[in-house]
Amino acid sequence: MTKVEEKVVAAVKEKKDKNVKEYEMHQDKCVKVKSEAVVASAAVNDAATTLKNQREYQVQITNLKNVLISSHEQALSKRQEAEKILSSHSLAVSKYQQQTTVANEQVADAKTKIAGAQEVQRIIAVRMKEIATLMTRPTITAGEKAKLTKEEEEIKGKLENQQNTVDTETKNLVTYETSIATLATTIKQYKKYVVDTKEIIKTLEKKVGETKAAL
């Protein structure tokens, strides 16, 4: 080959070696860029997933908060309702106790009336025996006999009136005592309602505190 040709061949070889080196550098650069792109893509995906999770978490928090608010309001409402029921039961106990006091007074009054009527009957019975004895005297005059007969008729009427009092008040006494027994049962039941309602209020107070603390 001529010197010119040798120069051309040398130049082409040099160019080839340079091109190969540049290609290899470019290839390495592409691999590096691709690797960086993969990392960047993964980072973007991670960020997107994190953002999605944060949004889902925020939704869950909001939903939970709404549930807690609802539970708190419900607990408050139920507590207020229970307090009204407690007040109603307590008033009922007080009312029935007052009725029991009145019924006991009526029982005492009826017993007093019965005892008084029976005492009058005893006195009348004694007087009637005296009249019967006086009426059998041989020396009794017509005037005395008429007077005793009149008295006897009068006290018989009184005796009948006293017996009516005994019968009426005895009947009333049974009614009053039955009423007292019924009231005792009712008061006992309402006192149990009071105790149960207080326990319910305690539970609701705890629930109100828990939901308030959670909020």
Model confidence at 41: pLDDT above 90: no
Confirm whether 193 is domain-assigned: yes
Tokens of 192: 């149990």
User: Average pLDDT, stretch 171-180?
Assistant: 95
User: Taking the CA of residue 148 as centre, how many other CA atoms within 13 Å lie in the half-sphere pointing to its CB?
Assistant: 17
Q: Which residues, including other chains, have CB under 8 Å from residue 192's CB and lie 6 or more apart?
A: none
Q: Global pTM?
A: 0.59
Token pair 């960020």 is at which residue?
A: 47
Q: Report pLDDT for 32.
A: 77
Confirm whether 141 is domain-assigned: no
Provide the percentage of residues in the chain whose pLDDT is more than 90.
47
What is the spatial distance between Cα 84 and Cα 80, in angstroms, rounded to a whole number? 6
pLDDT (tens digit, 9 = 90+) per residue, 67-119? Answer: 878 888 888 888 889 999 999 999 999 999 999 999 999 999 999 999 999 99
* Confidence tier at 40 by pLDDT (50, 70, 90): low
Range of the domain at 107: 3-111+167-214
User: Average pLDDT, stretch 43-62?
Assistant: 72
Model confidence at 1: pLDDT above 60: no
Confirm whether 127 is domain-assigned: no
Top-confidence residue, 3 or 88: 88
Tokens of 96: 């029935």
Number of domains in the chain: 1
Considering only 15-24, 70-79, 119-128, which range has the smallest mean pLDDT?
Answer: 15-24
Considering only 35-44, 79-88, 107-116, 150-159, which range has the smallest mean pLDDT?
Answer: 35-44
Confirm whether 85 is domain-assigned: yes
What is the spatial distance between Cα 103 and Cα 98, in angstroms, rounded to a whole number? 9
Torsion of CA 168, 174, 176, 180, to 10 degrees: 180
First to last CA, the chain: 95
Other beta carbons less than 10 A from residue 77's beta carbon: 11
Q: How far is CA 196 from the centre of its chain?
A: 8
Confirm whether 133 is domain-assigned: no
Top-confidence residue, 169 or 50: 169
Confirm whether 157 is domain-assigned: no
Confirm whether 12 is domain-assigned: yes
- Cα separation values, 209 from 82, 86, 115, Å: 16, 20, 62
User: Average pLDDT, stretch 188-209?
Assistant: 90
Confirm whether 86 is domain-assigned: yes
Q: Report pLDDT for 213.
A: 84
What is the spatial distance between Cα 44 and Cα 36, in angstroms, rounded to a whole number? 12
Alpha helices in the chain (DSSP H): 3-135, 142-214
Q: Report pLDDT for 101.
A: 95
